[in-house]
Chains A and B, each alone.
Chain A
Amino acid sequence: MTLSVTDLSCARGGMPVLEGVSFTLEPGRVLVLRGPNGIGKTTLLRTIAGLQPALSGEITGAEDRVAYGAHADGLKAALTVWENLAFWAGIYGTPLERIKPALFAFDLYPLQYRQAQALSAGQKRRLSLARLLLTGRPVWLLDEPTVSMDAASVGLFAEAVKAQCADGGSALIATHIDLGLETDTLDLTPYKATPVWEFADRAEEEEFFA
Chain B
Amino acid sequence: MIALLRRDLMLAVRAGGGFGLGLAFFLIVVVLVPFGVGPETELLRRIAPGILWVAALLSALLTLDRIFALDWEDGSLALLATSPLPMEGVALVKAAAHWLTTGLPLTLAGPVLGVLLSLDPAVVPVLLASLAIGTPALSVIGAFGAAVTVGLRRGGLLLSLLVLPLYVPTLIFGAEAVRLSAEGQGAGTALLLLGGVTLGTCALLPFAAAAVLRINLRSSA
* Residues of chain A whose beta carbon lies under 8 Å from any beta carbon of chain B: 12-13, 42, 49-53, 64, 66-68, 70-79, 83, 86-93, 131, 135
Distance in Å: Cβ of A44 to nearest Cβ of chain B: 13
Contact of B11 among A52, A79, A90 (CB under 8 A): A79
Whether a CB of chain A sits under 8 angstroms from the CB of B83 is: yes
Residues of B near A83 (CB, < 8 A) are 7, 10
Whether a CB of chain A sits under 8 angstroms from the CB of B217 is: yes
Check A79 against B7 for contact (C-beta < 8 Å): yes
Whether a CB of chain A sits under 8 angstroms from the CB of B161 is: no
Q: Known contacts A42-B221, A51-B218, A79-B10: does B74 contact A73 (CB below 8 Å)?
A: yes
Distance in Å: Cβ of B43 to nearest Cβ of chain A: 44
Of B14-22, B32-40, B112-120, B171-179, the one contacting chain A is: B14-22
Residues of A near B80 (CB, < 8 A) are 91
Residues of A near B75 (CB, < 8 A) are 70-74
Q: Known contacts A67-B82, A90-B6: does B15 contact A75 (CB below 8 Å)?
A: no
Residues of B near A51 (CB, < 8 A) are 78, 81-82, 217-218
Check B3 against A90 for contact (C-beta < 8 Å): yes
Q: List 24 A-B contacts (CB under 8 A).
A: A12-B221, A42-B221, A49-B82, A50-B81, A51-B78, A52-B217, A53-B218, A66-B82, A68-B79, A68-B82, A70-B79, A72-B78, A74-B75, A74-B79, A76-B7, A76-B74, A79-B7, A79-B14, A83-B7, A87-B3, A87-B7, A88-B79, A89-B3, A91-B3
Main secondary structure of the interface of B (DSSP, over half): helix
Best-buried of B2, B4, B17, B221 by chain A (most CB within 10 Å): B221
Check A91 against B14 for contact (C-beta < 8 Å): no
Check B83 against A92 for contact (C-beta < 8 Å): yes
Total interface residues on B, CB under 8 Å, equals 26
Within the assembled complex, what's the spacing in Å between the Cα atoms of A13 and B85? 26
Distance in Å: Cβ of A17 to nearest Cβ of chain B: 12
* For the complex of A and B, 10 pairs with smallest distance between CB atoms: A72-B75, A90-B3, A74-B76, A78-B14, A74-B75, A52-B218, A68-B82, A74-B79, A87-B7, A49-B82
Within the assembled complex, what's the spacing in Å between the Cα atoms of A64 and B81? 11
Distance in Å: Cβ of B219 to nearest Cβ of chain A: 7
Distance in Å: Cβ of B39 to nearest Cβ of chain A: 43
Residues of B near A76 (CB, < 8 A) are 7, 11, 74, 76
Number of A-B contacts (CB under 8 A): 78
Q: Known contacts A72-B78, A74-B79: does B219 contact A13 (CB below 8 Å)?
A: yes
Within the assembled complex, what's the spacing in Å between the Cα atoms of A88 and B15? 21
Residues of A near B165 (CB, < 8 A) are none
Residues of A near B2 (CB, < 8 A) are 90
Contact of A78 among B4, B15, B85 (CB under 8 A): B15
| In the complex, residue of chain B having the shortest beta-carbon distance to the beta carbon of A53 | B218
Check A74 against B10 for contact (C-beta < 8 Å): no
Residues of B near A86 (CB, < 8 A) are 3
Distance in Å: Cβ of A127 to nearest Cβ of chain B: 12
Distance in Å: Cβ of A12 to nearest Cβ of chain B: 7
Q: Known contacts A71-B75, A87-B3, A90-B3: does B17 contact A78 (CB below 8 Å)?
A: yes
Within the assembled complex, what's the spacing in Å between the Cα atoms of A12 and B217? 12
Residues of B near A13 (CB, < 8 A) are 219
Residues of A near B15 (CB, < 8 A) are 78
Q: Known contacts A78-B15, A79-B11: does B217 contact A64 (CB below 8 Å)?
A: no
Check A91 against B78 for contact (C-beta < 8 Å): no
Within the assembled complex, what's the spacing in Å between the Cα atoms of A17 and B179? 60
| In the complex, residue of chain A having the shortest beta-carbon distance to the beta carbon of B4 | A91
Contact of B83 among A42, A52, A53, A91 (CB under 8 A): A91
Within the assembled complex, what's the spacing in Å between the Cα atoms of A68 and B10? 25
